[in-house]
Amino acid sequence: MAYDQTDQFAPFVAPANEAGASEASTLAQRLNAELRDAHPATILRAAYEHFGDKLALVSSFGAESAVLLHLAAQVDPDIAVLFLDTGMLFGQTLDYRKTLAAKLGLTDVRDLRPHFEDLAVGDPNADLHKTDTDACCHIRKVVPLDAALEGFDAWLTGRKRFHGGDRLRLAVVEESEGKLKFNPLANWSKEELDAYAAEHALPAHPLVAAGFPSIGCWPCTNPVEEGEDVRAGRWAGSQKTECGIHTARAPGAAPFMGGDI
């Protein structure tokens, strides 16, 4: 059953120009002020009330994804869930994506894959990750997601402040490329996530038990040692910490922080 949408909020129309982008920024600031201390479920409902079917959830079906997916399924199981199938994911992630979506009753999980032409030209041997991870992420994540988001005015992410680094300053609502981004779990601790998952008997990604607290593509994800940062196993040994989907594309624009994918 979809969340009972009210007309408490006027619907937001995607900005098509600089003035529109400014309007989105103003709305993001207002909503962030209203929702900065709200429960994740309240943030999700506010996002849905504003944007309806113009709201998407971007999920990696990774180590901590089940909580946000479960919360979203309570609001609207028909919400569009955008899943970046880079062609480099662990088989366990592909299995988890299927079983978790079925368990939660999510009806519209969309598998986003790299464009064939981009791979043929830019990564014909599927080894670009060895020489240029930014270019590889661009072809396999950024381009497919940007294309999919064209049909939406706002999206939900699973980023959290407890992951540290720049994410310590993560806003609950922010503006990016003229769209609004909601981060309903920004305020939650690891303990709150674990308690919610236990309360609702949410299945864990199978690689968590093998020492992977953050899970991306197999060539760029290592298990971590006890006491290491959650994302220490992502692009380990390099300066790279983000795949690029949360980074501003426009020249001179401020970067956006963090990444759950």
Residues that bind ligand SF4 (CB under 6 A): 86, 88, 129, 133, 136-137, 140-141, 216-217, 219-220, 243
What is the token pair recorded at 49? 């009330």
Active-site position among 136, 137, 220, 243? 243
Contacts of residue 203, Cβ cutoff 8 Å, sequence gap at least 6 = 66, 96, 99, 100, 103
Nearest residue (CB) to ligand SF4, 79 versus 217:
217
**Smallest distance, Å, CB 221 to ligand SF4?**
8
| Three-state DSSP state, 55 | strand
Nearest residue (CB) to ligand SF4, 2 versus 147:
147
Nearest alpha-carbon partner for 113 in 133, 94, 134: 94
| Three-state DSSP state, 242 | coil
Whose structure tokens read 């464009």? Answer: 115
Nearest residue (CB) to ligand SF4, 78 versus 134:
134
* Residue 137 a catalytic site member: no
**Smallest distance, Å, CB 224 to ligand SF4?**
16
**Smallest distance, Å, CB 86 to ligand SF4?**
5
Say how far apart CA 118 and CA 126 lie, in whole Å. Answer: 11
Whose structure tokens read 């759950």? Answer: 260
Nearest residue (CB) to ligand SF4, 104 versus 136:
136
Q: Do 148 and 173 form a contact (C-beta atoms < 8 A)?
A: no
**Smallest distance, Å, CB 231 to ligand SF4?**
12
Q: Residue 180 forms beta bridges with which residues?
A: 154, 175
Q: Residue 179 forms beta bridges with which residues?
A: 176
The CB-nearest residue to ligand SF4 is 217
> Which residues are part of the catalytic machinery?
243
